[in-house]
Amino acid sequence: MTNVAIVYHSGYGHTAKVAQAVQSGVDSVEGVSSYLISVNDVNDATWDTLAKADAIIFGSPTYMGGASADFKKFADASSKVWFNQGWKNKIAGGFTNSLSMSGDKLSTLQYFVTFAMQHGMVWVGSATPGAQKPGDVNELNRVGSWVGVMTQSDNAPADVTPPAKDLETAQLYGVRVAEFAKKLSG
Ligand SMILES: Cc1cc2nc3c(=O)[nH]c(=O)nc-3n(C[C@H](O)[C@H](O)[C@H](O)COP(=O)(O)O)c2cc1C
């Protein structure tokens, strides 16, 4: 069995919805199990789960042009794993959600790439086709991101935003990362 963990922070539920969409994509790949972990629930058992994972997908809202402080707290705590390069050669991926169309989301994804490289992980980009009409809520990857997944949510409750196609974009990314993890785990 291949294991994929999704570790995310969400202050108000929007990024949590994206994380759930990623998880549904992972779960759709035969022979792959998912673990959805909020950084606010991390405990000793979480580190064991992450040690056994073939892939770890990082998720955070973009706050003040970067990953949230809660996510960063998790990242800093992972320095104990870094000392022994415990995540070396695992697959890595990432997603972020924010209010503005850009909102400097790329900074968050680029931070995730750096974080993954510090751990010796292997990054998987989104490879989602570009939207024909960028910004159109009826299109996949309307934000136009290939480093990882970017979704946009309005200033409204998480049960109505981000839109369905953004969540589908996240779901497809879950499939992609799970398939890579499955190949890697043989
Ligand atoms: C402290 C804070 C900082 C924020 N900074 C940004 C930002 O830099 N760019 C942006 O587009 N939106 C920003 N936002 C809006 C959030 O990204 C947006 O509300 C997002 O949906 C929150 O996700 P969550 O519900 O998972 O916490 C910020 C919100 C907060 C609370």
Instruction: Give residue-wise pLDDT tens across range 9-19.
Output: 999 999 999 99
What's the mean pLDDT in 163-175? 98
Q: Could you give the percent of the chain with pLDDT greater than 90?
A: 98
Structural contact between residues 54 and 87, judged by C-beta atoms closer than 8 angstroms: no
**Whose alpha carbon is nearest atom 21 of ligand 1?**
98
- Does residue 5 register a pLDDT over 90? yes
- CATH superfamily for 2-185 is Flavodoxin domain (3.40.50.360)
Structural contact between residues 125 and 150, judged by C-beta atoms closer than 8 angstroms: no
Q: Could you give the percent of the chain with pLDDT greater than 70?
A: 100
Confidence of residue 68 (pLDDT cuts 50, 70, 90): very high
Token readout for 180 is 């890579």
Distance between Cα 1 and ligand 1 center (Å): 36
pLDDT digits (tens, 9 = 90+) for 96-141: 999 999 999 999 999 999 999 999 999 999 999 889 999 999 999 9
Given this model, what pLDDT does residue 172 score? 98
CA dist 37 and 34 (Å) reads 10
Q: Which helix (H) or strand (E) holds 24?
A: helix 14-27
Confidence of residue 48 (pLDDT cuts 50, 70, 90): very high
Structural contact between residues 124 and 92, judged by C-beta atoms closer than 8 angstroms: yes
Nearest to 74 by CA among 50, 110, 100, 103: 50
Given this model, what pLDDT does residue 186 score? 77
Token readout for 70 is 């809660």
Q: CA angle, corner 33, sides to 31 and 39, nearest 5?
A: 160
Please give the single-letter amino acid code of residue 146. W
Q: Which atom of ligand 1 is nearest to the CA of 153?
A: 21
pTM above 0.95, yes or no: yes
- Does residue 73 register a pLDDT over 90? yes
48 to each of 6, 56, 150, how far by Cα in Å? 14, 13, 29
What stretches of 40-90 show up as alpha helix (H) in DSSP?
A: 44-52, 69-77, 79-83
From 62, 72, 151, the mutation candidate for ligand 1 (largest count of ligand atoms within 8 A of CB) is 62
**Whose alpha carbon is nearest atom 19 of ligand 1?**
99
Q: Which atom of ligand 1 is nearest to the CA of 100?
A: 11
